[in-house]
Chains A and B, each alone.
Chain A
Amino acid sequence: MNKKHMDEIENQMKLANAGIPEKERDLFADARPVKVDPFNKYYEGFLNWARSRSLWMLAFGTGCGAIELRPLMTSRYDMSRYGIAPRPTPRQASVFIIGGYSSIKTIKRIVRSYEQMQGPKYVIALGSCTINGGMYYDSYNTINRLDYYIPVDVYIAGCMPRPEALIAGFNRLKEKIRAGECEGMNEYTEKFDWYKSNQKQIIKDWNMPDYNW
Protein backbone atom coordinates (compact mmCIF):
# COMPACT_ATOMS: atom_id res chain seq x y z
CA MET A 1 0.00 0.00 0.00
CA ASN A 2 1.70 3.20 -1.11
CA LYS A 3 1.52 6.59 0.51
CA LYS A 4 -0.98 8.05 -1.94
CA HIS A 5 -3.39 5.25 -1.23
CA MET A 6 -2.98 5.80 2.51
CA ASP A 7 -3.77 9.48 2.08
CA GLU A 8 -6.91 8.64 0.15
CA ILE A 9 -8.15 6.38 2.90
CA GLU A 10 -7.35 9.06 5.43
CA ASN A 11 -9.33 11.61 3.46
CA GLN A 12 -12.29 9.28 3.34
CA MET A 13 -12.09 8.85 7.08
CA LYS A 14 -12.33 12.60 7.59
CA LEU A 15 -15.68 14.07 8.52
CA ALA A 16 -17.44 16.09 5.87
CA ASN A 17 -18.68 18.90 8.16
CA ALA A 18 -21.26 19.64 5.49
CA GLY A 19 -23.42 21.61 7.91
CA ILE A 20 -21.07 24.55 8.32
CA PRO A 21 -20.28 27.10 5.61
CA GLU A 22 -17.33 26.41 3.31
CA LYS A 23 -15.22 29.33 4.47
CA GLU A 24 -15.59 28.42 8.15
CA ARG A 25 -14.74 24.77 7.71
CA ASP A 26 -11.04 25.33 8.38
CA LEU A 27 -11.85 26.52 11.87
CA PHE A 28 -13.26 23.17 12.92
CA ALA A 29 -11.64 19.79 13.38
CA ASP A 30 -12.63 17.11 10.90
CA ALA A 31 -11.07 14.12 12.58
CA ARG A 32 -13.15 11.25 13.86
CA PRO A 33 -13.07 10.36 17.52
CA VAL A 34 -10.59 7.60 18.19
CA LYS A 35 -11.03 4.66 20.48
CA VAL A 36 -8.90 4.97 23.60
CA ASP A 37 -8.23 1.68 25.32
CA PRO A 38 -8.21 1.49 29.10
CA PHE A 39 -4.86 1.44 30.86
CA ASN A 40 -3.58 -1.82 32.29
CA LYS A 41 -5.85 -3.67 34.64
CA TYR A 42 -4.54 -2.55 38.02
CA TYR A 43 -3.99 1.09 37.17
CA GLU A 44 -7.40 1.30 35.52
CA GLY A 45 -8.94 -0.33 38.58
CA PHE A 46 -7.37 2.30 40.79
CA LEU A 47 -8.51 5.10 38.47
CA ASN A 48 -12.02 3.71 38.34
CA TRP A 49 -12.09 3.67 42.12
CA ALA A 50 -11.15 7.37 42.16
CA ARG A 51 -13.56 8.21 39.32
CA SER A 52 -16.45 6.56 41.09
CA ARG A 53 -15.76 8.64 44.19
CA SER A 54 -15.36 11.90 42.35
CA LEU A 55 -18.25 12.24 39.92
CA TRP A 56 -18.46 15.67 38.35
CA MET A 57 -21.79 16.19 36.75
CA LEU A 58 -22.49 18.69 34.04
CA ALA A 59 -24.73 21.47 35.28
CA PHE A 60 -26.96 21.47 32.23
CA GLY A 61 -30.62 21.02 33.04
CA THR A 62 -31.96 19.49 29.86
CA GLY A 63 -35.56 19.03 30.90
CA CYS A 64 -38.02 19.12 33.75
CA GLY A 65 -36.00 16.46 35.59
CA ALA A 66 -33.30 19.01 36.30
CA ILE A 67 -35.54 20.28 39.08
CA GLU A 68 -34.71 17.11 41.00
CA LEU A 69 -31.02 18.00 41.01
CA ARG A 70 -31.55 21.08 43.17
CA PRO A 71 -32.83 19.24 46.25
CA LEU A 72 -30.04 16.77 45.63
CA MET A 73 -27.47 19.52 46.06
CA THR A 74 -29.00 21.10 49.13
CA SER A 75 -28.81 19.96 52.71
CA ARG A 76 -31.64 17.48 52.72
CA TYR A 77 -30.08 15.00 50.30
CA ASP A 78 -26.55 16.40 50.02
CA MET A 79 -24.94 14.64 47.09
CA SER A 80 -21.52 16.08 47.94
CA ARG A 81 -21.02 13.44 50.63
CA TYR A 82 -20.89 10.88 47.79
CA GLY A 83 -18.24 12.93 46.03
CA ILE A 84 -20.69 14.25 43.43
CA ALA A 85 -20.14 17.88 42.52
CA PRO A 86 -21.62 20.05 39.78
CA ARG A 87 -19.21 21.46 37.20
CA PRO A 88 -20.31 24.32 35.00
CA THR A 89 -18.41 23.32 31.87
CA PRO A 90 -18.52 20.12 29.81
CA ARG A 91 -14.73 20.11 29.52
CA GLN A 92 -14.42 19.20 33.17
CA ALA A 93 -17.55 17.18 33.78
CA SER A 94 -17.67 13.40 33.72
CA VAL A 95 -21.36 12.65 34.30
CA PHE A 96 -24.12 13.95 32.10
CA ILE A 97 -27.60 13.77 33.58
CA ILE A 98 -30.33 13.96 30.98
CA GLY A 99 -33.22 15.38 32.95
CA GLY A 100 -36.30 13.85 31.45
CA TYR A 101 -37.75 14.66 28.04
CA SER A 102 -35.41 16.06 25.46
CA SER A 103 -36.82 17.99 22.57
CA ILE A 104 -35.07 18.09 19.23
CA LYS A 105 -33.73 21.54 19.98
CA THR A 106 -32.26 20.24 23.22
CA ILE A 107 -30.86 17.01 21.78
CA LYS A 108 -28.74 19.13 19.48
CA ARG A 109 -27.20 20.82 22.53
CA ILE A 110 -26.99 17.52 24.36
CA VAL A 111 -24.97 15.97 21.55
CA ARG A 112 -22.70 18.99 21.45
CA SER A 113 -22.12 18.98 25.19
CA TYR A 114 -21.67 15.23 25.32
CA GLU A 115 -19.02 15.29 22.64
CA GLN A 116 -17.14 18.07 24.39
CA MET A 117 -16.84 16.10 27.59
CA GLN A 118 -13.49 14.45 28.13
CA GLY A 119 -13.75 10.71 28.55
CA PRO A 120 -14.35 8.46 30.34
CA LYS A 121 -17.80 9.98 30.45
CA TYR A 122 -21.01 8.62 31.83
CA VAL A 123 -24.64 9.34 31.08
CA ILE A 124 -27.49 8.97 33.53
CA ALA A 125 -30.90 9.08 31.88
CA LEU A 126 -33.44 10.39 34.33
CA GLY A 127 -37.15 9.77 34.03
CA SER A 128 -39.40 7.69 31.82
CA CYS A 129 -39.17 10.09 28.90
CA THR A 130 -35.62 9.06 28.19
CA ILE A 131 -36.55 5.38 28.19
CA ASN A 132 -39.55 5.23 25.89
CA GLY A 133 -40.86 8.75 25.58
CA GLY A 134 -42.95 8.62 28.72
CA MET A 135 -46.01 10.81 28.53
CA TYR A 136 -44.55 12.52 25.48
CA TYR A 137 -44.37 9.33 23.41
CA ASP A 138 -46.66 10.83 20.74
CA SER A 139 -45.14 14.30 20.75
CA TYR A 140 -43.87 15.77 17.53
CA ASN A 141 -40.68 17.21 18.99
CA THR A 142 -39.45 15.01 21.83
CA ILE A 143 -37.38 11.93 21.23
CA ASN A 144 -38.50 8.57 22.50
CA ARG A 145 -35.32 6.62 23.08
CA LEU A 146 -32.23 8.44 24.25
CA ASP A 147 -29.90 5.49 23.62
CA TYR A 148 -30.29 5.99 19.88
CA TYR A 149 -28.49 9.33 20.11
CA ILE A 150 -25.92 8.97 22.89
CA PRO A 151 -24.83 5.90 24.86
CA VAL A 152 -26.54 5.63 28.25
CA ASP A 153 -25.07 3.94 31.32
CA VAL A 154 -27.86 4.09 33.89
CA TYR A 155 -31.59 4.65 33.53
CA ILE A 156 -33.69 5.90 36.40
CA ALA A 157 -37.37 5.22 35.76
CA GLY A 158 -40.18 7.36 37.10
CA CYS A 159 -42.02 10.53 36.37
CA MET A 160 -40.40 12.20 38.22
CA PRO A 161 -38.04 9.98 40.16
CA ARG A 162 -37.45 11.36 43.62
CA PRO A 163 -33.96 12.45 44.70
CA GLU A 164 -33.59 9.16 46.59
CA ALA A 165 -34.02 7.34 43.30
CA LEU A 166 -31.34 9.57 41.82
CA ILE A 167 -28.96 8.69 44.63
CA ALA A 168 -29.71 5.01 44.01
CA GLY A 169 -28.95 5.61 40.34
CA PHE A 170 -25.66 7.24 41.24
CA ASN A 171 -24.77 4.26 43.42
CA ARG A 172 -25.59 1.91 40.57
CA LEU A 173 -23.36 4.01 38.31
CA LYS A 174 -20.56 3.79 40.86
CA GLU A 175 -20.82 0.01 40.96
CA LYS A 176 -20.71 -0.12 37.18
CA ILE A 177 -17.70 2.19 37.02
CA ARG A 178 -15.82 0.15 39.59
CA ALA A 179 -16.60 -3.01 37.64
CA GLY A 180 -15.20 -1.33 34.54
CA GLU A 181 -18.46 -1.60 32.60
CA CYS A 182 -18.91 2.06 31.71
CA GLU A 183 -17.25 2.30 28.33
CA GLY A 184 -19.83 4.61 26.75
CA MET A 185 -17.07 6.79 25.32
CA ASN A 186 -15.61 3.93 23.28
CA GLU A 187 -19.06 2.65 22.39
CA TYR A 188 -19.83 6.05 20.88
CA THR A 189 -16.61 5.91 18.91
CA GLU A 190 -17.24 2.43 17.56
CA LYS A 191 -20.84 3.06 16.51
CA PHE A 192 -20.12 6.67 15.53
CA ASP A 193 -21.75 6.47 12.09
CA TRP A 194 -24.89 4.88 13.47
CA TYR A 195 -25.25 7.52 16.19
CA LYS A 196 -24.56 10.30 13.69
CA SER A 197 -27.14 9.06 11.22
CA ASN A 198 -29.73 8.82 13.99
CA GLN A 199 -28.91 12.31 15.18
CA LYS A 200 -28.97 13.79 11.71
CA GLN A 201 -32.29 12.17 10.98
CA ILE A 202 -34.02 14.29 13.61
CA ILE A 203 -31.81 17.38 13.73
CA LYS A 204 -32.81 18.89 10.41
CA ASP A 205 -30.72 22.07 10.53
CA TRP A 206 -27.35 20.55 11.29
CA ASN A 207 -25.21 23.69 11.43
CA MET A 208 -22.39 22.45 13.59
CA PRO A 209 -19.34 20.28 12.99
CA ASP A 210 -19.95 16.56 12.72
CA TYR A 211 -17.89 15.96 15.82
CA ASN A 212 -17.53 18.70 18.39
CA TRP A 213 -14.17 18.57 20.05
Chain B
Amino acid sequence: MSLATQIFYAVISVTVATAYGLTLGGITRKIYARVHGRFGPPVWQPFLDIIQTSGRRVSVSHGNMFLLGPVFRLAGGLGTYLFIPVIYGSAVFSNFSMAGDLLLVMYFVFFGQLGMALGAGQGGHPYSPIGIARGLAQMSTFELPFALAVIAVAIQYNSLNITSIVAAQQGGFMNWTLFTNPLAVVAAMISLLGMNMHSPFSIVLAPQEIPIGPPIEMNSGFLSILQTNRGLFAAAKLVLFMNLFFGGATNLLEMVAKTFFIYMFSVFVGAAYPRFRPEQSFRFFLKWPTIAGILSIIYIAYLGGTS
Protein backbone atom coordinates (compact mmCIF):
# COMPACT_ATOMS: atom_id res chain seq x y z
CA MET B 1 0.00 0.00 0.00
CA SER B 2 1.45 3.32 -1.05
CA LEU B 3 1.86 6.15 1.40
CA ALA B 4 -0.67 8.30 -0.47
CA THR B 5 -3.41 5.70 -0.10
CA GLN B 6 -2.51 5.23 3.52
CA ILE B 7 -2.81 8.96 4.17
CA PHE B 8 -6.10 9.08 2.31
CA TYR B 9 -7.41 6.23 4.41
CA ALA B 10 -6.13 7.87 7.57
CA VAL B 11 -8.05 11.05 6.74
CA ILE B 12 -11.26 9.04 6.32
CA SER B 13 -10.57 7.17 9.53
CA VAL B 14 -9.90 10.33 11.55
CA THR B 15 -13.02 12.03 10.21
CA VAL B 16 -15.21 9.07 11.09
CA ALA B 17 -13.66 8.77 14.54
CA THR B 18 -14.09 12.49 15.27
CA ALA B 19 -17.70 12.49 14.17
CA TYR B 20 -18.33 9.38 16.22
CA GLY B 21 -16.63 10.80 19.30
CA LEU B 22 -18.59 14.04 19.07
CA THR B 23 -21.86 12.17 18.67
CA LEU B 24 -20.96 10.16 21.76
CA GLY B 25 -20.47 13.48 23.55
CA GLY B 26 -23.93 14.56 22.42
CA ILE B 27 -25.44 11.30 23.62
CA THR B 28 -23.69 11.77 26.95
CA ARG B 29 -25.26 15.19 27.40
CA LYS B 30 -28.62 13.73 26.50
CA ILE B 31 -28.22 10.94 29.05
CA TYR B 32 -27.15 13.35 31.77
CA ALA B 33 -30.17 15.48 30.94
CA ARG B 34 -32.50 12.50 31.18
CA VAL B 35 -31.01 11.57 34.53
CA HIS B 36 -31.75 15.13 35.68
CA GLY B 37 -35.29 14.83 34.27
CA ARG B 38 -34.71 17.23 31.37
CA PHE B 39 -35.02 16.94 27.62
CA GLY B 40 -31.44 17.88 27.02
CA PRO B 41 -29.75 19.33 23.95
CA PRO B 42 -29.99 17.60 20.58
CA VAL B 43 -27.44 14.86 19.89
CA TRP B 44 -25.72 17.03 17.27
CA GLN B 45 -25.20 19.91 19.70
CA PRO B 46 -21.37 19.38 19.87
CA PHE B 47 -21.13 19.96 16.11
CA LEU B 48 -23.08 23.21 16.39
CA ASP B 49 -20.85 24.28 19.25
CA ILE B 50 -17.75 23.67 17.15
CA ILE B 51 -19.15 25.65 14.21
CA GLN B 52 -20.11 28.43 16.58
CA THR B 53 -16.73 28.70 18.28
CA SER B 54 -14.75 28.44 15.07
CA GLY B 55 -17.02 31.07 13.51
CA ARG B 56 -16.15 33.81 16.01
CA ARG B 57 -14.84 36.90 14.30
CA VAL B 58 -12.10 37.81 16.76
CA SER B 59 -9.84 35.88 19.04
CA VAL B 60 -7.28 36.73 21.66
CA SER B 61 -3.89 35.06 21.88
CA HIS B 62 -1.50 35.33 24.79
CA GLY B 63 1.68 34.34 22.98
CA ASN B 64 3.32 31.52 21.08
CA MET B 65 2.92 28.79 23.67
CA PHE B 66 -0.72 29.71 23.97
CA LEU B 67 -1.07 29.13 20.22
CA LEU B 68 0.74 25.82 20.49
CA GLY B 69 -1.26 24.47 23.44
CA PRO B 70 -4.37 23.41 21.52
CA VAL B 71 -2.17 22.23 18.65
CA PHE B 72 -0.26 19.94 21.02
CA ARG B 73 -3.53 18.72 22.44
CA LEU B 74 -4.84 17.90 18.98
CA ALA B 75 -1.50 16.27 18.12
CA GLY B 76 -1.90 14.11 21.21
CA GLY B 77 -5.37 13.04 20.11
CA LEU B 78 -4.29 12.44 16.52
CA GLY B 79 -1.17 10.57 17.59
CA THR B 80 -3.14 8.33 19.91
CA TYR B 81 -5.66 7.57 17.25
CA LEU B 82 -3.38 7.17 14.24
CA PHE B 83 -1.32 4.36 15.75
CA ILE B 84 -4.27 2.23 16.80
CA PRO B 85 -5.74 -0.26 14.30
CA VAL B 86 -9.41 0.57 14.59
CA ILE B 87 -10.92 -2.39 12.74
CA TYR B 88 -9.06 -5.67 12.62
CA GLY B 89 -8.39 -6.69 9.03
CA SER B 90 -9.68 -3.47 7.43
CA ALA B 91 -7.40 -1.53 5.11
CA VAL B 92 -9.13 1.82 5.59
CA PHE B 93 -9.24 1.72 9.38
CA SER B 94 -5.91 0.08 10.16
CA ASN B 95 -4.20 3.50 10.36
CA PHE B 96 -0.40 3.49 10.86
CA SER B 97 -0.31 0.49 13.12
CA MET B 98 3.12 -1.12 13.50
CA ALA B 99 5.22 -3.24 15.81
CA GLY B 100 5.47 -1.82 19.31
CA ASP B 101 2.76 0.75 18.71
CA LEU B 102 1.29 0.17 22.16
CA LEU B 103 4.17 2.05 23.79
CA LEU B 104 3.78 4.95 21.36
CA VAL B 105 0.07 5.14 22.06
CA MET B 106 0.66 5.15 25.82
CA TYR B 107 3.03 8.06 25.31
CA PHE B 108 0.59 10.00 23.16
CA VAL B 109 -2.17 9.67 25.75
CA PHE B 110 0.06 11.71 28.07
CA PHE B 111 1.42 14.06 25.43
CA GLY B 112 -1.71 16.11 24.86
CA GLN B 113 -2.11 17.06 28.48
CA LEU B 114 1.52 18.17 28.74
CA GLY B 115 1.18 20.36 25.67
CA MET B 116 -2.00 21.82 27.03
CA ALA B 117 -0.20 22.57 30.30
CA LEU B 118 2.37 24.68 28.46
CA GLY B 119 -0.25 26.54 26.47
CA ALA B 120 -2.72 27.17 29.23
CA GLY B 121 0.07 28.33 31.55
CA GLN B 122 0.73 31.27 29.27
CA GLY B 123 -2.92 32.28 29.41
CA GLY B 124 -2.07 33.82 32.76
CA HIS B 125 -5.36 33.05 34.45
CA PRO B 126 -4.83 31.73 37.99
CA TYR B 127 -7.36 28.93 37.53
CA SER B 128 -5.45 27.44 34.59
CA PRO B 129 -2.45 26.27 36.66
CA ILE B 130 -4.80 24.88 39.31
CA GLY B 131 -6.59 22.85 36.67
CA ILE B 132 -3.31 21.76 35.12
CA ALA B 133 -1.82 20.73 38.44
CA ARG B 134 -4.90 18.68 39.18
CA GLY B 135 -4.97 17.24 35.68
CA LEU B 136 -1.33 16.15 35.67
CA ALA B 137 -1.53 14.73 39.18
CA GLN B 138 -4.67 12.78 38.39
CA MET B 139 -3.18 11.63 35.11
CA SER B 140 -0.09 10.28 36.88
CA THR B 141 -2.28 8.35 39.29
CA PHE B 142 -4.62 6.79 36.74
CA GLU B 143 -1.74 5.99 34.41
CA LEU B 144 -0.39 3.66 37.09
CA PRO B 145 -3.23 1.08 37.06
CA PHE B 146 -3.58 1.53 33.31
CA ALA B 147 0.12 0.87 32.73
CA LEU B 148 -0.04 -2.17 35.01
CA ALA B 149 -3.01 -3.50 33.03
CA VAL B 150 -1.18 -2.90 29.75
CA ILE B 151 1.92 -4.69 31.08
CA ALA B 152 -0.26 -7.62 32.09
CA VAL B 153 -1.76 -7.72 28.60
CA ALA B 154 1.69 -7.46 27.00
CA ILE B 155 2.95 -10.38 29.10
CA GLN B 156 -0.16 -12.38 28.36
CA TYR B 157 0.06 -12.06 24.59
CA ASN B 158 3.82 -11.69 24.52
CA SER B 159 3.53 -8.67 22.24
CA LEU B 160 3.49 -4.86 22.19
CA ASN B 161 1.73 -4.72 18.87
CA ILE B 162 -1.96 -3.89 19.11
CA THR B 163 -2.78 -5.78 15.90
CA SER B 164 -1.31 -9.02 17.21
CA ILE B 165 -3.01 -8.51 20.59
CA VAL B 166 -6.32 -8.21 18.75
CA ALA B 167 -5.43 -11.22 16.58
CA ALA B 168 -4.81 -13.30 19.70
CA GLN B 169 -8.30 -12.50 21.00
CA GLN B 170 -10.16 -13.61 17.88
CA GLY B 171 -12.32 -16.71 17.74
CA GLY B 172 -15.15 -16.42 20.25
CA PHE B 173 -15.72 -14.06 23.13
CA MET B 174 -14.12 -16.42 25.66
CA ASN B 175 -10.78 -15.42 24.16
CA TRP B 176 -11.23 -11.76 25.11
CA THR B 177 -8.93 -10.35 27.76
CA LEU B 178 -12.10 -9.59 29.71
CA PHE B 179 -12.42 -13.31 30.41
CA THR B 180 -8.82 -14.50 30.22
CA ASN B 181 -7.46 -11.77 32.47
CA PRO B 182 -10.35 -10.05 34.27
CA LEU B 183 -8.24 -8.30 36.92
CA ALA B 184 -6.35 -6.30 34.29
CA VAL B 185 -9.68 -5.24 32.78
CA VAL B 186 -10.96 -4.10 36.17
CA ALA B 187 -7.85 -1.96 36.70
CA ALA B 188 -8.02 -0.51 33.20
CA MET B 189 -11.75 0.24 33.25
CA ILE B 190 -11.41 2.14 36.51
CA SER B 191 -8.58 4.17 35.06
CA LEU B 192 -10.82 4.83 32.04
CA LEU B 193 -13.18 6.63 34.40
CA GLY B 194 -10.35 9.02 35.20
CA MET B 195 -9.34 9.34 31.57
CA ASN B 196 -12.83 10.28 30.43
CA MET B 197 -13.01 12.85 33.24
CA HIS B 198 -16.65 12.22 33.98
CA SER B 199 -18.16 12.94 37.28
CA PRO B 200 -16.34 11.31 40.15
CA PHE B 201 -13.06 12.34 38.56
CA SER B 202 -14.06 15.60 36.89
CA ILE B 203 -11.74 17.59 39.10
CA VAL B 204 -9.79 18.97 36.15
CA LEU B 205 -12.56 20.92 34.46
CA ALA B 206 -14.79 21.32 37.53
CA PRO B 207 -17.03 24.06 36.12
CA GLN B 208 -18.45 25.24 39.42
CA GLU B 209 -15.18 25.16 41.25
CA ILE B 210 -12.32 26.33 39.07
CA PRO B 211 -14.28 27.61 36.06
CA ILE B 212 -13.41 24.87 33.60
CA GLY B 213 -9.74 24.84 34.57
CA PRO B 214 -7.03 24.66 31.90
CA PRO B 215 -8.98 25.94 28.86
CA ILE B 216 -10.32 28.96 30.74
CA GLU B 217 -8.55 31.48 28.52
CA MET B 218 -9.05 29.48 25.33
CA ASN B 219 -11.39 31.26 22.96
CA SER B 220 -12.77 31.06 19.43
CA GLY B 221 -10.57 28.91 17.23
CA PHE B 222 -8.43 27.54 20.07
CA LEU B 223 -11.52 26.26 21.80
CA SER B 224 -12.88 24.68 18.64
CA ILE B 225 -9.62 22.76 18.22
CA LEU B 226 -9.94 21.53 21.79
CA GLN B 227 -13.55 20.52 21.21
CA THR B 228 -12.66 18.62 18.05
CA ASN B 229 -9.89 16.89 19.93
CA ARG B 230 -12.26 15.96 22.70
CA GLY B 231 -14.29 13.95 20.19
CA LEU B 232 -11.28 12.39 18.52
CA PHE B 233 -9.48 11.59 21.75
CA ALA B 234 -12.58 10.00 23.25
CA ALA B 235 -12.93 7.77 20.20
CA ALA B 236 -9.21 6.89 20.27
CA LYS B 237 -9.27 5.88 23.93
CA LEU B 238 -12.37 3.75 23.44
CA VAL B 239 -10.91 2.00 20.43
CA LEU B 240 -7.72 1.31 22.36
CA PHE B 241 -9.68 -0.23 25.22
CA MET B 242 -11.78 -2.25 22.82
CA ASN B 243 -8.65 -3.60 21.15
CA LEU B 244 -6.82 -4.45 24.33
CA PHE B 245 -9.60 -5.88 26.44
CA PHE B 246 -12.72 -6.58 24.42
CA GLY B 247 -11.45 -8.51 21.46
CA GLY B 248 -11.24 -5.70 18.90
CA ALA B 249 -13.71 -5.34 16.07
CA THR B 250 -13.90 -6.85 12.59
CA ASN B 251 -16.37 -4.35 11.16
CA LEU B 252 -17.56 -0.80 11.81
CA LEU B 253 -20.81 -1.89 13.39
CA GLU B 254 -19.06 -4.10 15.93
CA MET B 255 -16.67 -1.26 16.72
CA VAL B 256 -19.54 1.17 17.31
CA ALA B 257 -21.45 -1.30 19.46
CA LYS B 258 -18.49 -2.24 21.64
CA THR B 259 -17.09 1.28 22.12
CA PHE B 260 -20.56 2.59 22.85
CA PHE B 261 -20.97 0.23 25.77
CA ILE B 262 -17.45 0.90 27.05
CA TYR B 263 -18.24 4.60 26.98
CA MET B 264 -21.63 4.21 28.60
CA PHE B 265 -19.90 2.55 31.55
CA SER B 266 -18.13 5.79 32.42
CA VAL B 267 -21.20 7.89 31.56
CA PHE B 268 -23.45 5.93 33.89
CA VAL B 269 -20.89 6.08 36.67
CA GLY B 270 -20.58 9.81 36.02
CA ALA B 271 -24.34 10.36 36.13
CA ALA B 272 -24.65 8.49 39.41
CA TYR B 273 -21.79 9.85 41.50
CA PRO B 274 -20.81 13.30 42.69
CA ARG B 275 -17.35 14.74 42.20
CA PHE B 276 -14.35 13.62 44.25
CA ARG B 277 -12.01 16.10 45.80
CA PRO B 278 -8.52 15.93 44.26
CA GLU B 279 -6.85 14.07 47.11
CA GLN B 280 -9.73 11.57 47.29
CA SER B 281 -9.40 10.95 43.59
CA PHE B 282 -5.63 10.40 43.75
CA ARG B 283 -5.90 8.04 46.70
CA PHE B 284 -8.67 6.10 45.03
CA PHE B 285 -6.58 5.44 41.93
CA LEU B 286 -3.54 4.45 43.94
CA LYS B 287 -5.55 2.00 46.03
CA TRP B 288 -7.97 -0.51 44.47
CA PRO B 289 -7.22 -0.31 40.75
CA THR B 290 -3.48 -0.41 41.44
CA ILE B 291 -3.87 -3.50 43.60
CA ALA B 292 -6.00 -5.08 40.87
CA GLY B 293 -3.32 -4.24 38.30
CA ILE B 294 -0.51 -5.78 40.38
CA LEU B 295 -2.59 -8.90 41.04
CA SER B 296 -3.31 -9.23 37.33
CA ILE B 297 0.42 -9.22 36.55
CA ILE B 298 1.06 -11.82 39.25
CA TYR B 299 -1.81 -13.87 37.91
CA ILE B 300 -0.52 -13.77 34.34
CA ALA B 301 3.22 -13.95 34.91
CA TYR B 302 3.47 -16.43 37.79
CA LEU B 303 0.23 -18.39 37.79
CA GLY B 304 0.16 -18.74 34.03
CA GLY B 305 -3.37 -17.44 33.54
CA THR B 306 -6.12 -19.68 32.26
CA SER B 307 -4.49 -20.52 28.95
Direct contact of A and B (CB under 8 A): yes
* Interface set of A (CB-CB < 8 Å, partner B): 36, 38, 46-47, 50-51, 53-54, 56, 74-75, 78, 80-81, 83, 85, 87-89, 91-92, 94, 118-120, 185, 213
Nearest neighbor of B57 in chain A, beta-carbon distance: A36
Q: Please tell me which one of the listed residues B41, B49, B58, B212 contacts residue A88 in the complex, with CB atoms under 8 A apart.
A: B212
CB contacts (< 8 Å) of B228 on chain A: these are none
Nearest neighbor of A85 in chain B, beta-carbon distance: B41
Q: Is the CB of B56 within 8 A of A120?
A: yes
Q: Looking at the assembled complex, report how far the CB atom of A73 sits from the nearest CB atom of chain B, in whole angstroms.
A: 9
CB contacts (< 8 Å) of A120 on chain B: these are 56-57
CB contacts (< 8 Å) of A78 on chain B: these are 33, 38-40
Quick check: is B15 within 8 A (CB to CB) of the other chain? Answer: no
A92 to B39, CA, bound (A): 24
Q: Is the CB of B56 within 8 A of A118?
A: yes
**Given known contacts A83-B41, A118-B56, A75 and B36 CB-to-CB distance under 8 angstroms:** yes
Interface of B is mostly: loop
Q: Which of B35-88 contact A (CB under 8 A)?
A: 36-42, 45, 48-49, 51-53, 55-60
CB contacts (< 8 Å) of B220 on chain A: these are 118
Q: Is the CB of A118 within 8 A of B59?
A: yes
Q: Is the CB of A47 within 8 A of B216?
A: no
CB contacts (< 8 Å) of B39 on chain A: these are 78, 80-81
Quick check: is B207 within 8 A (CB to CB) of the other chain? Answer: yes
A119 to B49, CA, bound (A): 15
Q: Is the CB of A51 within 8 A of B52?
A: yes
Nearest neighbor of A80 in chain B, beta-carbon distance: B41
A38 to B40, CA, bound (A): 31
Q: Which of B211-232 contact A (CB under 8 A)?
A: 211-212, 216-220, 223
- 23 pairs of residues in contact across A and B, judged by CB atoms under 8 Å: A36-B58, A46-B51, A51-B52, A51-B55, A56-B49, A75-B36, A78-B33, A78-B39, A80-B38, A80-B39, A80-B40, A81-B39, A81-B40, A81-B41, A88-B212, A89-B211, A91-B218, A92-B218, A92-B219, A94-B52, A118-B59, A118-B60, A120-B56
In this complex, the interface size class of chain B, counting residues with CB under 8 Å from chain A, is: 20 to 34
Q: Please tell me which one of the listed residues A83, A91, A92, A185 contacts residue B48 in the complex, with CB atoms under 8 A apart.
A: A83
A38 to B55, CA, bound (A): 10
A83 to B216, CA, bound (A): 21
In the complex, besides A80-B29, A81-B38, A94-B56, 7 extra interface pairs with C-beta distance below 8 angstroms are A50-B55, A51-B55, A53-B48, A53-B52, A78-B33, A88-B211, A119-B57
Q: Is the CB of B38 within 8 A of A91?
A: no
